[in-house]
């Protein structure tokens, strides 16, 4: 039998049983592509990461949902490098930051490891290039989107922005402003209808956000829905948070370049995603997200040895 050590973590939090769960295999050499997909399906978390050696970066990360491999995802990257730093697979320092590079399906991207008192504190990742794509302007599509979210059309938009837009830093999502936290709480997704809309625009999910928040330190409260991928709701979505951050700056909605996105509270899994945008209205040069993680479980997977 081939045996592989794995860990589960909660990401974008420092408390167990909150944030977004993740499974990581820190030494995944010898696991086939087919086995990786089967393992991710078996564990049935939103993502599972397999860490491999790389010729172009410190490590190669392969990120799988239960149904497919992803080019990029925020919480798997943040969680994996928190784990690898804890296991001392990365360079170490007592206090300060270390910049390394990771190989993803999307390409090679930098990651910054922030240490305090000899322990990993946070991981910051630069996301892919920001893309502002289609806006959803037609009344029929806006009405269909509201209906798919279980809302009225006048629940969409808020005091700062009415723009519903497909945005990306590697994975496309639809940024959907809503009027208030009360509207966020009223969302009742119709899975097939919502999937029809975001798939029509080439996105993987819808990211609703309000400027009314639970924490005074947060800029927005967000929720992410991706029913076509079997994710009724995600408690913390780094890729969508990064894309939303770019949206807010690119459209001149906010003047801040660093802020906190809160997510997951309405699922009982509070998450806090720290975002930073290098750029200004009409020109986003780079988007970064940062977060904490906590290791929850350790286990061993046994696979049959090929004859």
- pLDDT tens figures, 92-104: 999 999 999 999 9
> Which residue(s) pair with 111 in the sheet?
100, 125
Pairwise pLDDT comparison (99 vs 307), residue with the higher score: 99
What backbone phi and psi angles, to 5 degrees, belong to 60?
-105, 130
124 contacts 288 by C-beta, under 8 angstroms = yes
Is 47 assigned a catalytic role?
A: yes
271 contacts 241 by C-beta, under 8 angstroms = no
> Which residue(s) pair with 16 in the sheet?
none
Domains of the chain: 2-126+292-303 (3.10.310.10), 131-289 (3.10.310.10)
CA distance 149 to 134: 19
Residues 6+ apart with CB under 8 A from 206: 145, 149, 173, 174, 176, 194, 197, 198, 224, 225, 226
59 contacts 84 by C-beta, under 8 angstroms = yes
188-216: per-residue pLDDT in tens?
Answer: 999 999 999 999 999 999 999 999 999 99
- Written as six digits, the tokens of 272 are 């806090």
257-294: per-residue pLDDT in tens?
Answer: 999 999 999 999 999 999 999 999 999 999 999 999 99
What backbone phi and psi angles, to 5 degrees, belong to 271?
-135, 145
- Written as six digits, the tokens of 188 are 């009742």
pTM of the model: 0.93
How far CA 40 is from CA of 35, 47, 126, in Å, comes to: 8, 7, 25
> Which residue(s) pair with 144 in the sheet?
none
Once rounded to an integer, what is the mean pLDDT over residues 51-65? 97
How far CA 139 is from CA of 142, 154, 164, in Å, comes to: 5, 11, 12
What average pLDDT is seen over the chain? 96
Residue 305 is predicted with a pLDDT of 85
294 contacts 6 by C-beta, under 8 angstroms = no
The band of 307, judged by pLDDT with boundaries at 50, 70 and 90, is low
155-177: per-residue pLDDT in tens?
Answer: 999 999 999 999 999 999 999 99
CB atoms within 10 A of CB 285: 12
- Written as six digits, the tokens of 80 are 């994996």
Residue in 34, 42, 47, 193 annotated catalytic? 47
């Amino acid at each position: 039998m081939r045996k592989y050590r794995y860990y589960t973590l909660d990401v974008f939090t420092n408390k167990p049983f909150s944030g977004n769960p993740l499974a990581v295999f820190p030494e995944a050499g010898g696991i086939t592509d087919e086995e990786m997909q089967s393992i991710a399906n078996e564990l049935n978390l939103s993502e599972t990461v397999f860490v491999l050696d790389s010729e172009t970066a410190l490590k190669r990360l392969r990120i799988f949902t239960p149904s497919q491999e992803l080019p990029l995802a925020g919480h798997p990257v943040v969680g994996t490098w928190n784990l690898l730093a804890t296991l001392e697979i990365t360079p170490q320092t007592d206090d300060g930051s270390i910049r390394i590079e990771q190989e993803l399906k999307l390409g090679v991207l930098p990651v910054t490891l922030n240490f305090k008192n000899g322990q990993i504190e946070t991981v910051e990742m630069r996301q892919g290039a920001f893309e502002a794509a289609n806006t959803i302007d037609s009344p029929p599509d806006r009405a269909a989107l509201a209906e798919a979210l279980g809302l009225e059309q006048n629940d969409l938009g808020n005091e700062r922005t009415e723009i519903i837009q497909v945005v990306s830093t590697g994975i496309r999502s639809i940024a959907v402003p809503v009027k208030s936290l009360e509207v966020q709480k009223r969302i009742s997704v119709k899975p097939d209808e919502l999937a029809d809309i975001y798939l029509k625009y080439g996105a993987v999910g819808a990211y609703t956000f309000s400027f009314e928040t639970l924490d005074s330190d947060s800029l927005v409260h967000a929720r992410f829905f991706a029913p076509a991928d079997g994710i009724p709701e995600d408690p913390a979505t780094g890729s969508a948070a990064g894309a939303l951050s770019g949206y807010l700056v690119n459209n001149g909605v906010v003047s801040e370049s660093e802020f906190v996105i809160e997510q997951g509270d309405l699922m009982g899994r509070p998450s806090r995603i720290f975002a930073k945008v290098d750029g200004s209205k009409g020109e986003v040069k780079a988007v970064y997200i940062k977060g904490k993680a906590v290791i929850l479980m350790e286990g061993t997977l046994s696979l049959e040895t090929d004859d």
